[in-house]
C-alpha cells in the first residue's frame, strides 16, 4: 500500500503537495464554492484551507477515517469559521446563487470513499424532514434559523432534526459496516 499523501506532507515531502492538490483540490474547491458567499470568498477560503492542511497533515490518523474525511473536516471547519465571521460583518458583496446541491444516489459514492457511500445509504433511510434539514444545513451551509425560515419548521424542530439526524446517520453508518461484514447489503 502506498504511503498516505498526508503522512508524506507531514515529513516534509514537497512533491506530496502537488499530489495532494491533484487528488483533493477539486473537492476542496467544490466545498468552498458551496459554503462561501462569493467566488472570491471561495478562493480566499481555499488558500486558508490548504494552509491549514499543510500544517495539520501530521494529525491525520487513519484509524479515525479516510484522508478524504479528514480533509473535508478541516475544510468544513475553516468554512464554518469564515461564515460565522462574515455573519458579524455588515454589508458585503451579494451572495452568489448556485444550483441547489442534493444527496447522491446510494451506490454512487463508493468511488469517493467508503464513508461517503455509508453516509449516502444512511441518509437515504432518514425521515424526509431530517433528510431535508441535513441537506440544507450540511450540504448548503444554511444556519438553523435560515432553515427554519425556508422550511417553516419551528427553530427547535430544526435543531432537534439536525441533532437526531446526525446521530442517526452515525449509528446507521456503523450498521452498514456491520452488515457489510456479514455480507448483507443495507
Assigned C-alpha cell, 121: 445509504
User: Which residues, 72 to 101, sit near other proteins by CB under 8 A?
Assistant: 72-74, 76-78, 80-81, 83-86, 88-89, 99, 101
Closest to other proteins by CB, 63 vs 184, is 63
d(CA 35, CA 114) in angstroms, rounded, equals 23
Q: Is 64 in the site for other proteins (CB under 8 A)?
A: yes
Q: Identify the residue whose cell numbers are 424542530.
A: 157
Least distance in Å: CB of 154 to other proteins? 15
Assigned C-alpha cell, 9: 506532507
Q: Is 27 in the site for other proteins (CB under 8 A)?
A: yes
User: Which residues, 157 to 176, sit near other proteins by CB under 8 A?
Assistant: 159, 162-163, 166-167, 169-171, 173-174
169 and 103 in contact (C-beta within 8 Å)? Answer: no
d(CA 23, CA 5) in angstroms, rounded, equals 9
Q: Is 186 in the site for other proteins (CB under 8 A)?
A: no
User: Which residues, 97 to 156, sit near other proteins by CB under 8 A?
Assistant: 99, 101-104, 109, 112-113, 115-120, 123, 134-135, 137-139, 143-144
d(CA 88, CA 84) in angstroms, rounded, equals 7
Among 5, 6, 46, 153, interactor with other proteins by CB under 8 A: 46
Among 4, 7, 17, 151, interactor with other proteins by CB under 8 A: 17
DSSP labels, 39-55: HHHHHHHHHHHHHHHHH
Among 5, 6, 28, 148, interactor with other proteins by CB under 8 A: 28
Give the CB-side neighbour count of residue 102, counting CA atoms within 13 A: 6
Amino acid at each position: 500500500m502506498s504511503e498516505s499523501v498526508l503522512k508524506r506532507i507531514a515529513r516534509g515531502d514537497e512533491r506530496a503537495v502537488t499530489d495532494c492538490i491533484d487528488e483533493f483540490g477539486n473537492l476542496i474547491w467544490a466545498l468552498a464554492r458551496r459554503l462561501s458567499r462569493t467566488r472570491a470568498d471561495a478562493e480566499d477560503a481555499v488558500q486558508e484551507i490548504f494552509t491549514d492542511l499543510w500544517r495539520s497533515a501530521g494529525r491525520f490518523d487513519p484509524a479515525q477515517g479516510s484522508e478524504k474525511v479528514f480533509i473535508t473536516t478541516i475544510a468544513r471547519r475553516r468554512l464554518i469559521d469564515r461564515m460565522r465571521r462574515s455573519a458579524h460583518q455588515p454589508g458585503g458583496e451579494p451572495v452568489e446563487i448556485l444550483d441547489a446541491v442534493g444527496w447522491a444516489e446510494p451506490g454512487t459514492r463508493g468511488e469517493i470513499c467508503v464513508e461517503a457511500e455509508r453516509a449516502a445509504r444512511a441518509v437515504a433511510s432518514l425521515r424526509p424532514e431530517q433528510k431535508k434539514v441535513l441537506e440544507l444545513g450540511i450540504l448548503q451551509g444554511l444556519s438553523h434559523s435560515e432553515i427554519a425560515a425556508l422550511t417553516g419548521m419551528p427553530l427547535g424542530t430544526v435543531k432537534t432534526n439536525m441533532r437526531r439526524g446526525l446521530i442517526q446517520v452515525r449509528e446507521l453508518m456503523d450498521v452498514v459496516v456491520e452488515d457489510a461484514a456479514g455480507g448483507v447489503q443495507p
